Structure 1
């Protein structure tokens, strides 16, 4: 049996954080002494350690999804959820590399097939090329990050290749947790044909993705240990 204060000191968090995790249902319910104090087991310690280790690489949303699954011994289902996040990180890296290549070449044509290269793109075509849903492009427009032209007859949005390049940069910078103010500043420099800052920050975003993949590996090590404990119960 392990006291809450011992776990809190080991992980560098407060005992109230441990109680929050328990109230969220992401660790098993703790036993209580006759005086009402919680007493945790080594299994609880494994849960707490896994949560802390996975947070920086995967985020709390995934943790809150998979920890209740592990308590139900749905280990494989939980692992596939984790795998989906890892696969998305790989896609994010590919998109960031593509954005950097486009910025460094100052051309979108070389990155596209002949079938994809055209003067105007609909919102559906633009979203597919950037690998986001159309509602994301509408949201970025509401945030004044992008302002596509409109067809005079139908009112439909019309995206140019320069718009697509901006969309790739927006997608890359937001994945790297840059503020909207920073993104707007970079897009403003792009409008002035000054790509140096955009290239610099896009490279930094790739460094951040490299950091995330390491953090995910660390989190996976703790998750593997927790899965072993769960399956051996």
Structure 2
């Protein structure tokens, strides 16, 4: 096969195919005496796997998976796959948590229990973001943590963690901070949740699409791994 043959199947350019080979997402191609690349069904399978992984996990993770496979480090490749599934599961759990919260919201303050207090570092670690990101959410009005009377440090309680989980979910869905602040305020006051419901329905569809994409990517990756020598 020529680069054009692989490119045509996916509607991409021949330069993209060459770039994918250069970056290690495809195995090295053999060369003719005149220097032209010669691809095989193994390369075609690798390209199908990589593009399916991009849809499911994003370009960076897809590239990492293919690089690991080509380094004969299948455990590293599968670890990256596992992390993607773990994030999807976490997003589903957060979505369900928010839906449950909608049914139990009140306009009164959330109960303050010491066992639910989190520091900014602990909350950032829980979400897999930086402390700077949490501070940005606070500046945008998404989070309104209290302060420890002795140290002055931020204290995040149960309601704050819920708001942070919701903010993280919506940010992953591409929503801007201003819109997230409005939605979170609706959650706090229970004063109309139409925007929240619409956001959750949209994100539910995206989670379903991502889950199906992961199934397809797993099948393509499995096919490619079995084709490799």
TM-score, normalized by length of structure 2? 0.82
What residue is the counterpart of 1:50 in the other structure?
A: 49
| Bigger shift: residues 34-43 or 210-219 | 34-43
Would the aligned equivalents of 2:57 and 2:84 in 1 still touch at CA under 8 Å? yes
Would the aligned equivalents of 1:30 and 1:39 in 2 still touch at CA under 8 Å? yes
Would the aligned equivalents of 1:95 and 1:168 in 2 still touch at CA under 8 Å? yes
SS in 2 for 1:63: helix
Please, which of 168, 179, 182 is the counterpart of residue 182 of structure 1? 179
Q: CA deviation at 1:220?
A: 0.5
What residue is the counterpart of 1:33 in the other structure?
A: 32
Alignment of 1:50-199 (within 5 A): 50-106=49-105, 116=115, 121-124=118-121, 126=123, 134=131, 136-141=133-138, 145-151=142-148, 153-190=150-187, 193-199=191-197
Task: State yes or no: 1:212 paired with 2:180.
Answer: no
Unaligned runs of 5+ in 1: none
Q: CA deviation at 1:122?
A: 3.6
**How many equivalent residue pairs?**
226
Distance in 1 of aligned mates of 2:39 and 2:210 = 30
Q: CA deviation at 1:125?
A: 5.8
Distance in 2 of aligned mates of 1:66 and 1:205 = 25
Distance in 1 of aligned mates of 2:10 and 2:120 = 47
Q: CA deviation at 1:88?
A: 2.2
Would the aligned equivalents of 1:103 and 1:199 in 2 still touch at CA under 8 Å? no
Higher relative contact order (CA 8 A, sep 6+): 1
What residue is the counterpart of 2:200 in the other structure?
A: 202
Unaligned runs of 5+ in 2: none
Structure 1 residues 107 and 38: CA distance shift in structure 2, 3 A: farther
Distance in 1 of aligned mates of 2:222 and 2:19 = 23
| Bigger shift: residues 74-83 or 167-176 | 74-83
Q: CA deviation at 1:41?
A: 1.5
Would the aligned equivalents of 2:65 and 2:77 in 1 still touch at CA under 8 Å? yes
Would the aligned equivalents of 1:176 and 1:209 in 2 still touch at CA under 8 Å? no
| Bigger shift: residues 136-145 or 125-134 | 125-134
| Bigger shift: residues 5-14 or 197-206 | 197-206
Q: CA deviation at 1:74?
A: 2.3
TM-score, normalized by length of structure 1? 0.81
Would the aligned equivalents of 1:22 and 1:28 in 2 still touch at CA under 8 Å? yes
SS in 2 for 1:56: helix
What do you get for the CA RMSD once the two structures are aligned? 3.1
Structure 1 residues 226 and 161: CA distance shift in structure 2, 3 A: same
What residue is the counterpart of 2:9 in the other structure?
A: 10
Distance in 2 of aligned mates of 1:62 and 1:129 = 21
Distance in 1 of aligned mates of 2:60 and 2:127 = 24
